[in-house]
Amino acid sequence: DVVMTQSPLSLSVTLGQPASISCRSSQGLLYGDGKTYLTWFQQRPGQSPRRLIYFVSNRDSGVPDRFSGSGSGTDFTLKISRVEAEDVGIYYCMQGTHWPPGYTFGQGTKLEIK
């Protein structure tokens, strides 16, 4: 089965500074239809998850443009250009290319403010 590995697992960032989270898959995520099914979610404390990015680099409606996604193949990155207080939470990557096993999440990366 495909395994999603995030790093780091925790991140402490000064307000206004950038942050970067890596997500690696054990198998390539390019599907036969030409799309790469790699999604990023944010889960703020006590809240439900919220999708930020789909198909590697497409921001969902309402997501600030300080969030960006990039990557291809097996290596992907979520970047926050300038961290704000509301960005505190846990970030998850997820693959949807390989079926079975179906959607597979990374372990999560906890972002806190330094």
Partner 1 sequence: EVQLVESGGGLVKSGGSLRLSCAASGFGFKNAWMSWVRQAPGKGLEWVGRSISESDGGKTEYGGALKGRFTISRDDSKNTLYLQMNNLKTEDTGVYFCATENLGGQADWGQGTLVTVSS
| β-strand partners of 53 | 40, 59
**Distances 22 to 5, 12, 36, 75 between C-alpha atoms, Å:** 8, 15, 16, 7
Maximum Cα interatomic distance, the chain, rounded to a whole number of Å: 42
Shortest separation between residue 82's beta carbon and partner 1, angstroms: 26
One character per residue 29-68, x = contact with partner 1 (rule: CB under 8 A):
------x-x-x-x-x----xxxx--xx--x-x--------
Number of residues in contact with partner 1 under rule CB under 8 A: 28
Look up residue 103 and give its two tokens: 């959607």
What backbone torsions phi and psi does residue 6 show, to the nearest 5 degrees?
A: -100, 150
**Is 21 an interacting residue with respect to partner 1 (CB under 8 A)?**
no
Report the interface residues with partner 1, using CB under 8 A: 1, 35, 37, 39, 41, 43, 48-51, 54-55, 58, 60, 90, 92, 94, 96, 99-108
